[in-house]
Amino acid sequence: MSFIDALIGHLAQHGARHGVGSDDLPLLVPAVVAAGALVAFADGATDPAELREIDDEALGCLMGDATRTEDIHRVLAKHLSNYDRDTKFGHDRALAVLADFSDAPEDQRALVLRAALDVGGAGSDGALTQPERDAALEIARILKLDPSTHGL
């Protein structure tokens, strides 16, 4: 079963009561992971706590279904590989995932931005560095969200 099929199957059981439509979930988790990767890599160094936070945020979108952890790791590994190959390529691929999500309902786009901010806050001092803040502003712009309403 593919990652997308597994997400849709999970949604059929749990997603409707959380306001996430079956057409939205296949893009929601990858968008959360992509946004988290943008912030985690923004300052040139990833903190293990940031990577754990990406996992936690993506798993939260799946309503805590731990059986999907391997799928989340696979998506995250793809982003890590993209950044390892070339930083600009990794950045551009993550932006493309977010651009695909930019027409999602506002509450879902806001969830993606909040997840990215949580990833940045998971770093060593708990505050966003300037490059992480810049990445969060870029995420807000791509997702068509007002940064000022999200603490940016």
Q: What pLDDT is attached to residue 27?
A: 63
Q: How far, in Å, are 46, 84, 85, 129 from residue 88 at the CA level?
A: 16, 10, 9, 19
Q: What pLDDT is attached to residue 83?
A: 63
Q: Which of 16-25, 41-50, 81-90 has the lowest mean pLDDT?
A: 16-25
Q: What pLDDT is attached to residue 119?
A: 74
Token pair of 57, please?
A: 């945020």
Residue of 95 and 32 predicted with greater confidence: 95
Q: What pLDDT is attached to residue 148?
A: 92
Q: What pLDDT is attached to residue 1?
A: 36
Could you give the domains of the chain? 3-150 (1.10.3680.10)
Segments of 4-152 assigned E as strands = none
Residue of 2 and 120 predicted with greater confidence: 120
